[in-house]
Amino acid sequence: MPRLLPGTRALRTFEAAARHLNFTRAADELGLTPAAVSHQVKEIEDQLDLVLFTRTSRTMRLTEAGTVLHEASIDALDLLNRAVSRARKVTRGTALLKVTLDAQFATKWLMRRIDDFRGQRPGIELRFDITYDVRDFERDDVDIGIRFGTGRYPGLCAHRLFDNIIIPVCSPALLASGPPLNEPRDLFRHTLAHIEWSRQGVTWPNWSMWMQAAGVDDFDDSRTLVFGSSTDATQAALDGNAVALADFAMVANDLSQGRLVRPFELGIKVAPEFAYFLVYPEAVKDDARIAAFREWLLEEAGKTHGTEKA
């Protein structure tokens, strides 16, 4: 009789333990206890009559057999994940379109417009995967995505949506009651907020860069508030606690509704290497749902404009 193979749950446990070489870290990843991980690994070893790990009081290593099985388990689980994704897409029909995108783009831009698409295309049901993780179209149950990046994604079609122009914004209350903002140097008397972000030698515009573009060469950035996300920096402005640098496209609605104002028109364009892109696999570019969403989104993106002077 052929020897039975471990099930997928056991393989996932073994793969995590082999990758971490630590049962506690594997347990944390899987939501199990270290004892449960140890038990499942022992069951696999007994089932296959193989020793997969060598253990000492301080270290754990894969045996030669363990290395072979670990490499195979990675491939097997990946293949199964991709098959499950394809199966789900096949069985859920042609009316559903699953879109993956980050929370900021969803809340600050897309959701304010999506009813228009639904009105134009009532036969397409939209569902959203809101995450900052980059989804794999072959492994994950998603059809199309919006990503911030370079647009260079092998095997994917990528359409640039709009330029990202960074502008100063603040609350109307701060502008009315705080120190006057008649010229850029007046900002020295306010709390200034921006984000810190850089990729591949490109830095997201900060207050030092904005001041330089405004002709101010003696700005001290040591007192600025630095946030990890644009959402937090913008919220500081909405709360009246700071003048923040924000992406025009992400605050356009707040500006039009009067929740934020622009004390100065000067904006700085993010380096052209980076932007928001609509992305999807080349193999599905003619899918009617993809084509409809692409046509609508690119038209909406074309209506988004900032004022760029630097």
DSSP string, 134-203: ---TTTSS-SEEEEEE-S--TTEEEEE----EEEEEB-HHHHHHSS--SSGGGGGGS-EEEE--EETTEE
Residue 275, C-beta contacts closer than 8 angstroms, at least 6 positions apart = 148, 151, 160, 161, 162, 163, 164
Element (H, E) at 281: strand 275-281
**What does the pLDDT read at residue 3?**
59
Describe the crossing of helices 230-238 and 248-256 by its angle, rounded to 10 degrees: 20
Give which of 147, 125, 127 is closest to 136, Cα–Cα: 147
Residue 299 confidence (pLDDT): 95
Phi and psi at 221, nearest 5°, equal: -90, 10
What distance in Å separates the CA atoms of residue 198 and residue 179, rounded to the nearest whole number?
32
Neighbouring C-beta atoms of residue 106, cutoff 10 Å: 19
CA 47 to chain centre: 41
Give me the chain's average pLDDT, please.
Answer: 91
- Tokens 């200034």 — which residue? 192
Helix (H) or strand (E) holding 279: strand 275-281
Look up residue 118 and give its amino acid: R
Q: What is residue 51's three-state secondary structure? A: coil
Could you tell me whether strands 144-149 and 96-101 are parallel, antiparallel, or unpaired per DSSP bridges?
Answer: parallel
Whether the Cβ atoms of residue 244 and residue 207 lie closer than 8 Å to each other: no
For tokens 């997928």, name the residue: 8
Per-residue model confidence as pLDDT tens digits over 69-125: 999 999 888 888 877 777 776 666 668 999 999 999 999 999 999 999 999 999 999
224 contacts 192 by C-beta, under 8 angstroms: yes
Low-confidence ranges of the chain (pLDDT < 50): 1, 307-310
pLDDT of residue 310: 44
The tokens for 11 are 């393989």
Q: In this predicted structure, what is the pLDDT of residue 308? A: 44
Please report the pLDDT score of residue 309 as a whole number: 47
Distance in angstroms (rounded) separating the CA atoms of residues 275 and 162? 7
